[in-house]
Chain A
Amino acid sequence: MELSEYVQSGLQPLADPGCFSPRAYTVLLQTAFQSLLDTQADQAALDHPDLKQIDPTVLKHCHAAAATCILEAGKQKADKSAISAYLEDCKFDRERIEQFCTEYQKNKDTLEIMLGSIGRCPPHITDVSWRLEYQIKTNQLHKTYRPAYLMTLNVENSGSGSHTDVNFSCTMEQLQDLVGKLKDAAKSLERATQIWPLGSHSFSAERLLTFIVFFGRSDHHPPAPFSGAALS
């Protein structure tokens, strides 16, 4: 891991028991993780009584440095040895390194989901609603007798979090076409994961759930439970 001098100089006081008591170190570490992962993080977290003795300027600097270090480790998926080596260079003792790594391990998955959700992507379909109707007559035309499906794709926009649903109608034949194509896509997805084992993930429906849990966006409502039958 490589971090700027500013971050390094912010981490050094954290290693110094004279500046940060063991208690203060624990509090600051937890605050740093919380401020990154908890969207409703307490703004006054640095006013904790255990941090009272520390100069506010130094405290802010250390907090920013710890947060940057956590983000960088998350971004690069750094393992324990990489993090340890870096903190050792910053003169952290064994105990504080261990504490940092334990806390990091605990929050690693949430951190990756948060980092993975940053960035642009096309509007994301989260669900579909349908309605089957039978058109009998209109003011222009009687005896139409036409069944039709009205579909609503629930869509989330990345970043803005706004919802603009897509509405359209289709006949039964058109719906069959749509479902056929989506099934093709699901089959290809299954085949693709057999050719390139995406990580160690084989592509069973069960595995899919892991995908969505692991790679899903944090702001993404989980879809309704499904059975794996569709892909068997």
Chain B
Amino acid sequence: MLLVLSEEHKEHLGFLTRLDSAVAGELGRLALEFLRKGANAKVYEGAARKLNVTSDVVQHGVEGLTYLLTESSKLMISEIDFQDSVHVLGFSEDLNKLLLQLYLDHRKEIRSILGELTPELPSYHSLEWRLDVQLASRSLRQQIKPAVTMKLHLNQNGDQTTKVLQTDPATLLHLIQQLEQALGEMKTNHCRRIILQPAFPGQTHVPTLSPWGGGGKVVQVQRSNFKEQLARKLQVSLLVVFQGLK
């Protein structure tokens, strides 16, 4: 999958051809800082003075690089596709290598930053529980009413919220039974066919490249193609379902 760059984007990135690779590398660092912490106008002005250009040009250059990196990371394009996509910009060999390294080194981080932007429900953090037996109340003496009091910690937009809930023994067993069914569902052939990669909390699927040359890379590319095929199959079957509904 190749990136399609707009003319405006190419023009903004064209500024980089006029720089030597050390300065271009510095701009790459600024692009990453932009992703991590947001724009910093002062730094752009400083760089613009040194390079004898307006700060707009620097800003466009940094933003162009940022966009290049985020789009590539978003689509998770392969090393070869990245090189081919950047090739049309007519950069020097050094600069191309530098951009590729920048992409490969920071793809994981950029994807995790992008992952934060997706809409999310409150997510489970942890649970504490306590056993209680109610022995008496104003309206009824001599009771024996067992209960499980729970404190549910949830994460939402980086904040932690807690909820105090209670349940009775029978419902507790029912909850356990239901949740075990939910876990069991993951092991069915139906789910395994769709879900190939066990996912870890917060981690998105990032193929690691083998440090020993091309072998590992080829495997990874094939694997990612396989996923694409699978996604396509899924799309087709969804389409069939939708048509069936119509």
A6 in the interface (beta carbon within 8 A):
no
A1 in the interface (beta carbon within 8 A):
no
Whether the pair B170, A211 counts as a contact (CB closer than 8 A) is yes
A141 proximity list for chain B (CB < 8 A): 74, 111, 114-115, 117-118, 204
24 A-B contacts, Cβ less than 8 Å apart? A115-B139, A116-B143, A116-B145, A125-B150, A125-B171, A125-B175, A140-B118, A141-B115, A144-B205, A145-B196, A146-B204, A147-B186, A168-B121, A168-B123, A169-B121, A171-B200, A172-B183, A177-B126, A185-B150, A185-B172, A189-B169, A208-B170, A216-B170, A226-B174
Question: A215 with B143: in contact, given A124-B165, A141-B111, A186-B173 (CB under 8 Å)?
Answer: yes
A209 proximity list for chain B (CB < 8 A): 170
Name the residue of chain B whose CB is nearest to the CB of A205: B173
Question: A125 with B201: in contact, given A119-B139, A182-B172 (CB under 8 Å)?
Answer: no
Whether the pair B148, A189 counts as a contact (CB closer than 8 A) is yes
Which B residues fall within an 8 A CB radius of A? 74-76, 111, 114-115, 117-124, 126-127, 129, 131, 133-134, 137-150, 152, 154, 163-180, 182-183, 185-186, 191, 194-201, 204-205, 224, 227, 231, 234
Choice from A122, A138, A145, A203 contacting B165 with Cβ under 8 Å? A122
B118 proximity list for chain A (CB < 8 A): 138, 140-141, 144
Whether the pair B200, A118 counts as a contact (CB closer than 8 A) is no
Whether the pair A145, B197 counts as a contact (CB closer than 8 A) is yes
Shortest A186–chain B CB gap in Å is: 6
Name the residue of chain A whose CB is nearest to the CB of B198: A172
A76 proximity list for chain B (CB < 8 A): 141-142
Choice from A118, A136, A176 contacting B183 with Cβ under 8 Å? A176
Other than the known A112-B140, A169-B122, A203-B169, what 17 A-B pairs have Cβ atoms closer than 8 Å?
A121-B166, A122-B165, A124-B165, A125-B166, A132-B186, A142-B74, A147-B195, A155-B165, A168-B121, A169-B123, A169-B124, A182-B127, A182-B176, A185-B131, A198-B144, A201-B144, A216-B168
Whether the pair A173, B200 counts as a contact (CB closer than 8 A) is yes
B167 proximity list for chain A (CB < 8 A): 124-126
A132 to B194, CA, bound (A): 12
B194 proximity list for chain A (CB < 8 A): 134
Whether the pair A227, B177 counts as a contact (CB closer than 8 A) is yes
B171 proximity list for chain A (CB < 8 A): 125-127, 212, 223
Whether the pair A142, B76 counts as a contact (CB closer than 8 A) is yes
Secondary structure type dominating chain B contacts: mixed
Contact residue range for chain A? 35 or more
B152 proximity list for chain A (CB < 8 A): 153, 166, 168
Whether the pair B186, A74 counts as a contact (CB closer than 8 A) is no
Whether the pair A125, B165 counts as a contact (CB closer than 8 A) is yes
Question: A118 with B139: in contact, given A215-B168, A224-B174 (CB under 8 Å)?
Answer: yes
B205 proximity list for chain A (CB < 8 A): 143-146
Whether the pair B122, A130 counts as a contact (CB closer than 8 A) is no
9 shortest interchain CB distances as A-B pairs? A170-B124, A212-B170, A115-B140, A125-B167, A118-B139, A223-B174, A138-B118, A122-B166, A130-B182
Whether the pair B168, A230 counts as a contact (CB closer than 8 A) is no
A140 to B120, CA, bound (A): 13
B177 proximity list for chain A (CB < 8 A): 226-227, 230
